[in-house]
A and B are shown apart, each in its own frame.
Chain A
Amino acid sequence: MAKVSKEELLHIANLADLNIKEDEIDNYLKNLQDILNFANIVNNANTDGLGETIGENDQCNVFRKDEVKEFKDNELLLANAKEQERNMFKIPKVIQ
């Protein structure tokens, strides 16, 4: 069972776009390690020849018809945005 390093934790937090403050690191590390140690018991299970369960609905081919339906309450879609301009969401400048 691998031990999670501080660097690894910070890398993961960065992937998840979360900050971890210096004084939170130990706590996060301990929690993560505890849970991983526990979760690791899945590797004791004998799953030889077993497929993966993907989702919980075992049906297939559930599709939609290609028909346009307009959403009527368009103005509500931007109503929750903190900042908007000309009916668009405003964000800090992004260089494309």
Chain B
Amino acid sequence: MDITNLTVHELQEKLAKQELTSEEIVQAYVNRINAKEKDVKAFVTTLCDEALKEAKEIDEKRKNGEKLSSLAGIPIGIKDNMCTKGVKTTCSSRMLENFVAPYNATVVEKLNEENLIDLGKLNMDEFAMGASTEYSYFKKTCNPWNLKTVPGGSSGGSAAAVAANLVPWALGSDTGGSIRQPSSFCGVVGLKPTYGLVSRYGLVAFASSLDQIGPITKDVRDSAMLLNIIAGHDERDTTSYNMQKKDYTKTLNGNVKGLKIGIPKEYFGEGINEEVKAKLEEAIETYKKLGAEVEEFSLDIAQYALATYYIIACAEASSNLGRFDGIRYGYRTENYTNLKELYKNSRSEGFGPEVKRRIILGTYVLSSGYYDAYYKKAQQVRTLVKKEFDKAFEKYDVLLTPTSPTVAFEMGTRSENPLEMYLADICTVSVNIAGLPGISIPCGVNGDNMPIGMQLIGNKFEEEKILNAAYTFEQEYKFREKYQPEFKG
């Protein structure tokens, strides 16, 4: 038995039956990291020794009959933009290369309450800006299915680590597709929850009105389990909703009979790779076979949503990233004689090119004379996008689209052209713009054995519906039994 190939719910079962100890699990992962991390380069910081020590303590406690969570002692990986007290939080930026947060993010506190063990901080595009993890200051993470290709981004480290069995599950963050797109590229399950379901406190902000933390897992049940842990109101985040807690595993029943699935035809048009389209069409047939009612309809907002997304996300980012000035924390230039130089040089040397590009764009659209034409208009278009989705959800329970127009692309082929990189987000951003939940699950591979992702979009706070639709497909298709990453290249 390869422990690292087990899902978390399988690990949970084996812990309960005492077939495995936490130490055995963590040790298996440490061994795996030692063997594979050099190829995948998913981590910014590994915490192997600390994790082993913690595992032993938890085993001890369990032996002594202490009441612990059924998940206690299972490791997890955390995207490096969530604050961990005492462990570096870098956002994969030179700016925060040595930054140690003085507090834990709310989600990290919740993981700690379950006694999950932090195995390390995972690589990402700098400040979560990117779709390939190539914009990390430290390293380029490789896609375990083909090491010459990107894992997607910005949560590329999280998705690659889960796909390569370096962690059993991980947390990612999603502003315009940063959980779903890398999950699609790496053949794993990535869920972006409804905006406001998970606290953002302690998530280093990219775009405040779009950011959301979510699970990246091997399967849908694990996704529901991790969502159970991290969802919930937080007094420290006024944009988190105060509502009844749910058990998202309870509604995984493998039944989609009568489920109304809408297929927005614009998401299958120009620019979508033919192999991707073909696998999605097979998936649609599978749903029909399983008894779902599938219907094509028009949702002509994708282009607007993408333009709106770049205006709003960059505007918010330009403001959110103002605090990085080299004074209280973060990179500080050696080269200054006055305050303005300290600011400018610290920021110019500390931020990478993509971050600077987006700060410039964001500053531009907010500056006097342009605010109305860009920012204000984008906020109105955002209302339009939401209205269109509202209309769609009057008719359908879930919407089905590709997660990305393509499979994972080769490193270095897109990063030179920012606009082209931005277009890769076309299928995912409208979900963030409307604040909806979306999940990406693998629905096959292409001719080169590269995974293809399918996105299911739900109405606000209807995570159960997309999780069950995803679960039902997963049970039928059995992707993990058919395909495994090969670390080729």
Which residues from chain A sit less than 8 Å from chain B, CB to CB?
A: 4, 9, 12-13, 15-19, 28, 31-32, 34-36, 38-47, 50-57, 59, 62, 64, 73, 76-83, 89, 91-94
One of B210, B325, B338 near A17 (C-beta < 8 A): B325
Contact A34 B99 (CB under 8 A): no
How far is A77 from B85 in the complex, measured between Cα atoms in Å? 11
Against A, the Cβ 8 Å flags (1 = close, 0 = not) of B332-364 are: 100011111011110110010000110111011
Of all A-B residue pairs in the complex, the 4 with the closest CB atoms, nearest first, are A76-B102, A80-B329, A52-B379, A47-B380
Instruction: List chain B residues, Cβ under 8 A from A55.
Output: 208-209, 239
How far is A35 from B315 in the complex, measured between Cα atoms in Å? 13
List 22 A–B pairs whose Cβ atoms lie within 8 Å, in order of A's numbering.
A9-B360, A12-B363, A15-B363, A16-B318, A28-B357, A32-B361, A38-B307, A38-B419, A41-B303, A45-B304, A47-B377, A52-B376, A52-B379, A52-B380, A54-B379, A56-B196, A56-B435, A80-B99, A82-B332, A91-B339, A92-B337, A92-B342
Instruction: List chain B residues, Cβ under 8 A from A4.
Output: 364
Contact B235 A42 (CB under 8 A): no
- Taking the closest CB of chain B, its distance from the CB of A84, in whole angstroms, is 9
Are A53 and B239 also in contact (CB < 8 A) when A9-B360, A35-B310 are? no
Instruction: List chain A residues, Cβ under 8 A from B310.
Output: 35, 38-39
- Taking the closest CB of chain B, its distance from the CB of A47, in whole angstroms, is 4
Q: A45-B377, A56-B210, A81-B329 are in contact. List 18 more A-B contacts (CB 8 A).
A: A15-B367, A17-B322, A17-B347, A18-B360, A36-B374, A38-B419, A39-B378, A42-B308, A47-B384, A50-B380, A57-B195, A79-B102, A80-B100, A80-B102, A80-B330, A81-B328, A83-B332, A92-B338
Instruction: List chain B residues, Cβ under 8 A from A17.
Output: 322, 325, 340, 343-344, 347
Against A, the Cβ 8 Å flags (1 = close, 0 = not) of B231-268 are: 00001001111000000000000000000000000000
Instruction: List chain A residues, Cβ under 8 A from B357.
Output: 28, 31-32
How far is A42 from B302 in the complex, measured between Cα atoms in Å? 11
How far is A59 from B249 in the complex, measured between Cα atoms in Å? 28
Instruction: List chain A residues, Cβ under 8 A from B386.
Output: 53
Contact A18 B339 (CB under 8 A): no
Contact A12 B364 (CB under 8 A): yes
Interface size on B, residues (CB 8 A): 70
Contact A53 B418 (CB under 8 A): no
- Taking the closest CB of chain A, its distance from the CB of B270, in whole angstroms, is 15
- Taking the closest CB of chain A, its distance from the CB of B489, in whole angstroms, is 30
Are A12 and B367 also in contact (CB < 8 A) when A18-B360, A19-B345, A35-B418 are? yes
Instruction: List chain A residues, Cβ under 8 A from B351.
Output: 18
One of A16, A50, A54, A76 near B387 (C-beta < 8 A): A50
Which residues from chain B sit less than 8 Å from chain A, CB to CB?
A: 85, 98-100, 102-103, 195-196, 208-210, 235, 238-241, 303-304, 306-308, 310-311, 318, 322, 325-330, 332, 336-340, 342-345, 347-348, 351, 356-357, 359-361, 363-365, 367, 373-374, 376-384, 386-387, 418-419, 422, 435
Instruction: List chain A residues, Cβ under 8 A from B322.
Output: 17
How far is A45 from B222 in the complex, measured between Cα atoms in Å? 40
How far is A19 from B343 in the complex, measured between Cα atoms in Å? 10
Contact A53 B339 (CB under 8 A): no
Are A39 and B360 also in contact (CB < 8 A) when A19-B348, A82-B332 are? no
Instruction: List chain A residues, Cβ under 8 A from B102.
Output: 73, 76-77, 79-80
How far is A83 from B327 in the complex, measured between Cα atoms in Å? 8
Contact B342 A34 (CB under 8 A): no
Secondary structure type dominating chain A contacts: loop
Instruction: List chain B residues, Cβ under 8 A from A47.
Output: 377, 380-381, 383-384
Instruction: List chain A residues, Cβ under 8 A from B387.
Output: 50
Contact A41 B339 (CB under 8 A): no
How far is A57 from B99 in the complex, measured between Cα atoms in Å? 30
Q: Which of A42, A46, A80, A82 has the most CB of B within 10 A?
A: A42
Instruction: List chain A residues, Cβ under 8 A from B337.
Output: 92
Contact B344 A42 (CB under 8 A): no
Contact B359 A16 (CB under 8 A): yes
Instruction: List chain A residues, Cβ under 8 A from B308.
Output: 42
Contact B307 A42 (CB under 8 A): yes
- Taking the closest CB of chain A, its distance from the CB of B334, in whole angstroms, is 10
Instruction: List chain B residues, Cβ under 8 A from A81.
Output: 327-329
How far is A31 from B359 in the complex, measured between Cα atoms in Å? 12
Instruction: List chain B residues, Cβ under 8 A from A12.
Output: 360, 363-364, 367
Closest to B387 in A: A50
How far is A80 from B373 in the complex, measured between Cα atoms in Å? 40
Closest to A77 in B: B102
Instruction: List chain B residues, Cβ under 8 A from A62.
Output: 238
Contact A91 B383 (CB under 8 A): no
Instruction: List chain A residues, Cβ under 8 A from B377.
Output: 42-43, 45, 47
